[in-house]
Amino acid sequence: MRLRLLICLAGMAICVGAASAQTAVQSMDELYAAAKKEGQVVFGGAIKAEHVTKLAAAFNKRYPGIAVKYTRRSTEPMVQLIEAERRANRVSFDLLNLTEPGDVVRWMKQAFLAAVPLPDTDKMLPATFDSNGFYAAISVTPMLGIYNTRVIKPGEAPKSLKALVSDPKWKGKVAISRPTRGGTSSGALMNVIEAVGRDFLKTARERDILLTRGNEAAINAVVSGERPVSWGVSGYRAIEARAGGSPIEIIVWEEGVALAQFIGVIPAKAPHPNAARLFYRWLMTPEGQELLVTNANFYSPRKDVAVTPLKQPPLSALKINSFSNEKVVGEGHALAVEFDKAVGL
């Protein structure tokens, strides 16, 4: 009798557990049915617009009737817009894609974000998702060094960060995206500091580093020859620029490269919450991830997605220095501010 009761209770517990899991992670069909009524998803972020257009076409093929409206905006101005909207008690975006973990964590604490648990986080790279489901990296990219092949011969290119920031030969030769711009740039700075030590900040001003507004501008500074080297730019942009014929070559530093995350979040008061969840969840499926890799040249945070951008080596073949979002939040921004002061800003 007692055994029967135990079996019965165990059965009930399994049923309740399954039911709660079902509630936590809605099925895609359920989401699609609710999303169709909303008709659209307003997506904003740092991914190039032409890449999202291709993703949206594939998404619409699988889930017709839901338009993807995309606004491309770098993380810093995007956060400004969101903060302005928050002041006005307004939420325009359903899904956001940012590179600054600091903002994501702050918004999570302020209950601005919705928890959208993903079904298979066990297949994701460590430290690329929040265990409570408030955020996850939609894509990742290594912060690669680059140099201008017209100005520097391949054999003469710097190989280590230590040489780059201490050898007088490279003084006045480096361009970077200003570290306070966002998580990608502050991650690259953290990588340098990890490699060469904090004392570098004392000499940073003498190095005459050209600071740009964003990674693309840093790449352009190298492509034009204004400064022939960068210690770390968004890998997907560098790969694209090189494939497009720009005279640059990639450097994977002896000390390793940082891995930047493009984080997806859904505001708690998103105007089209179901469409947002459906699109976000679809982006995180192997199908969505493969399209992100092949169209936008990112790497996937999913371990089961083998495809790499433009036939680049897999992440496992690169020396990656992975900084958790907590570390970037805790140290990255403070370091970026310190760097600003060190160079005179």
Binding another protein by CB under 8 A: which of 48, 54, 171, 327? 48
225 sits near another protein (criterion: CB under 8 A): yes
Structure-token pair, residue 236: 């997907």
Q: How far is the CB of 124 from another protein (least distance, A)?
A: 25
111 sits near another protein (criterion: CB under 8 A): no
Binding another protein by CB under 8 A: which of 26, 55, 99, 102? 102
Q: Measured between alpha carbons, how far is residue 254 from residues 47, 160, 266, 313, 319 in Å?
A: 29, 5, 38, 16, 8
Binding another protein by CB under 8 A: which of 6, 37, 65, 90? 90
Binding another protein by CB under 8 A: which of 95, 124, 174, 223? 223
One-letter amino acid of 309: P
153 sits near another protein (criterion: CB under 8 A): no
80 sits near another protein (criterion: CB under 8 A): yes
Could you tell me which of 320, 336, 80 has the C-alpha nearest to residue 204?
Answer: 336
81 sits near another protein (criterion: CB under 8 A): yes
83 sits near another protein (criterion: CB under 8 A): yes
Length of the chain: 345
103 sits near another protein (criterion: CB under 8 A): yes
Our CB check for another protein shows the closer of 42 and 196 to be 42
219 sits near another protein (criterion: CB under 8 A): yes
3-state secondary structure of 7: helix
Taking contact as CB under 8 A, which single stretch among the options 116-124, 242-250, 251-259, 318-326 is the one that binds another protein?
Answer: 242-250
1 sits near another protein (criterion: CB under 8 A): no
Residue 262 burial by CB count (10 A; 0-12/13-18/19+): exposed, middle or buried? buried
Pairing of strands 175-177, 210-212: parallel
Residues 196-215 that bind another protein (CB under 8 A): 210-214
Structure-token pair, residue 68: 């993807």
CB within 8 Å of 83: residues ≥ 6 apart: none
- Checking 149-153 for CB contacts under 8 A at 24+ apart, the result is 149/247, 149/248, 149/249, 150/225, 150/247, 151/225, 151/228, 152/228, 152/229
Our CB check for another protein shows the closer of 72 and 123 to be 72
Q: How far is the CB of 181 from another protein (least distance, A)?
A: 9
- Hunting for tokens 């066990």 — which residue is that? 122
Residue 330 burial by CB count (10 A; 0-12/13-18/19+): exposed, middle or buried? middle
Distance of alpha carbon 148 from its chain centroid, rounded?
25
Contact residues: another protein, CB under 8 A = 42, 44, 48-49, 53, 69, 71-74, 76-77, 79-81, 83-85, 87-90, 92-93, 100, 102-103, 106, 178, 180, 210-214, 216-217, 219-220, 223-227, 237, 244-247, 333, 343-345
